[in-house]
Structure 1
């Protein structure tokens, strides 16, 4: 829980389940997150070994994030949380 127990980490991980995303696209999928919080969160996820960051040597810089093998191992948990949240909102 220490690795994914914040507001934004599960959302970022969930959006990466279907494959790598460029930084800007990933951030747009979570419009409520500030740029500062996005940067802080992806750095923590990378430090914890749940995502990888690839920087392409182009101008402007292109950065891409994807789940590491360790991050991919959370797929079942993340999909279950999504299903549970969807069922809960349908029952209200």
Structure 2
């Protein structure tokens, strides 16, 4: 753990960034890289969850591929690089607009 925690919205945009004293000792480039990595990971997870929800509503895989929503394989790839994702139970865009699973 490098002491950087980023909370994002469902699009992966940062809403809150918490930095420990350890994180403050990182160089600017390393800190920026970690913040962007966490934002990207959150967006990938949220997109994959939205993909699952849309598939459950009957949207076919070809359409979901065309839209560009990430897959569970994309999450697995991100976790292989960054470790387990703790954001899987975050609400997605569909949760926020009231589309039930």
Higher fraction of helix = 2
The structure with the largest alpha-carbon Rg is 2
Higher fraction of strand = 1
| Structure with higher RCO (Cα < 8 A, 6+ apart) | 1
Same fold per TM (> 0.5)? Answer: no
The normalised TM-score by structure 1 is 0.31
The normalised TM-score by structure 2 is 0.29
